[in-house]
Structure 1
Amino acid sequence: MKTIFLALALFATGAHAAANPDASPCDGVEDDHQTLGCSVSQRDTAVKLLDENFQNLLERVNTQYGANKAEANDLIAKLKTAQDAWKKLRDADCAVEVFPAKPGSEAFNIDQNDCLARTSDERSEYVESILQPE
């Protein structure tokens, strides 16, 4: 009997998710496993937005310095170097932030994802602000 109720509950949840495409893994979080799924989603969204904002920045460089390719290429090289350095700093800072959680544990993964999401969001705002018209 429990199996039938569990199957009905899972079906109803799946039907609700299908009926609501805006549903997020962060909706109705009740346990650590769901919290992990939410943190993965938030991390992936933040990293994707950062990548998009960085690509948009490179396009702004090419647009604003299009007449001077050497200057554009120099700035793009500097931006890529800065982005790579920032990623190393982010990873090091997040390693400190999640310490002493055991790598591979749910708590570690949740904290790591939360740190990556938060810092990526912060960096994304900064990257988006570069070379914007005032």
Structure 2
Amino acid sequence: MNRIVRFIALPLGMLCGSIAHAEDDCKVISVSWQVDVCVKADREKADAKLNASYKKLMARFESQQKRDPEQGKAFMAIARESQRAWIKLRDTTCPLEATDIDPDAVMHSTSINSCVARMSLERAVYLDRIVADSPGDVVDMNKVSRSGAKRYQDVVARYLYSFDNPCLTVQILAPDGGWRVFSSAQFCSFDGKSFRSGYTDARFEEPVFADDGLHLTLSTTELYAPGEKRRACVIPIKNEQIKVLKCGEPESS
């Protein structure tokens, strides 16, 4: 009996390893069971995307209704009720797409999972488009003198320079949600001093996106001290968030 158990366990272990490998690379489908595995993975990714979009919508309601918290709570209650009703609609609609498939067949669950993934992604895009961006997130593109962008998983980060403005604007956008601005930050000061009034000259130069964020050089000239100081800096971007500017010591001349 022990020999039989060991004989069975080995192929099962090999099968689990194959499934894990298929989840990592679903672009190449060589056997039929990979379809089910990959569709399940797509459903999980879509569910995660939907949950993230829903949480961001609730956060927008909360942040943009600070002057009227009760109204914000009312909007959030509407969103919760709508989401619950939509989930029920999705979960009762998708089985319709599998009515012509034997319930005991693998393709029955595959068809349902495919439908759930598709509807979840569509819903995520819909939620991303609800509630206008706050005024501080809107940039007059006619005044932009220079810009750059990089994709970070499901979002796009961009930097913007404007004419006659020493500030640097960094934003996180949702390409699948009508390019909604998820977050925005302006960098207009360093060491507690404004670029406009605290220095003779202050500006960011040579911006380049990398995997960990936006790398650039900060050039400053003090009001009452001669000479330019240049520092290597980075604005970290992690988990769809713009972090605090970090700069090193001035470069030696």
Q: TM-score range by the shorter chain?
A: 0.7 to 0.9
Q: Quote the residue 1:5 is aligned against.
A: none
2:58 counterpart of 1:58: yes
Any idea what SS the aligned residue of 1:78 has?
helix
Name the structure with the higher strand share. 2
Letter aligned with residue 35 of structure 2: T
Q: Quote the residue 1:39 is aligned against.
A: 39
2:116 counterpart of 1:113: no
Per-residue CA distance 1:2-57 (angstroms, 9 max, x = gap): xxxxxxxx7xx98xx6xxxxx83412112221001100110000010000010000
Q: Quote the residue 2:48 is aligned against.
A: 48
> Where do 5+ consecutive residues of structure 2 fail to align?
1-13, 139-253
Letter aligned with residue 76 of structure 2: I
Counting only pairs closer than 5 Å after superposition, residues 64-103 of structure 1 correspond to structure 2 as 64-103=64-103
Tell me the TM-score normalised to structure 2 length: 0.43
Contact 1:25 1:41 in 2 (8 A): no
Contact 1:101 1:108 in 2 (8 A): yes
Letter aligned with residue 95 of structure 1: P
Letter aligned with residue 42 of structure 1: D
Letter aligned with residue 52 of structure 1: A
Any idea what SS the aligned residue of 1:130 has?
coil
Contact 1:25 1:34 in 2 (8 A): no
Distance 1:122 1:78 in 2: 19
Contact 1:54 1:127 in 2 (8 A): yes
Between Structure 1 and Structure 2, how many residues are aligned?
117
2:33 counterpart of 1:29: no
Per-residue CA distance 1:65-92 (angstroms, 9 max, x = gap): 1121110111111000000000111111
Contact 1:39 1:114 in 2 (8 A): yes
Distance 1:25 1:93 in 2: 29
Letter aligned with residue 80 of structure 1: R
Pick the structure with greater CA Rg.
2
Identity of aligned residues (%): 25
2:122 counterpart of 1:122: yes
> Where do 5+ consecutive residues of structure 1 fail to align?
1-9, 18-22
Higher relative contact order (CA 8 A, sep 6+): 1
Letter aligned with residue 37 of structure 1: V
Contact 1:58 1:76 in 2 (8 A): yes
Name the structure with the higher helix share. 1
Runs of 4+ more than 4 Å apart:
none
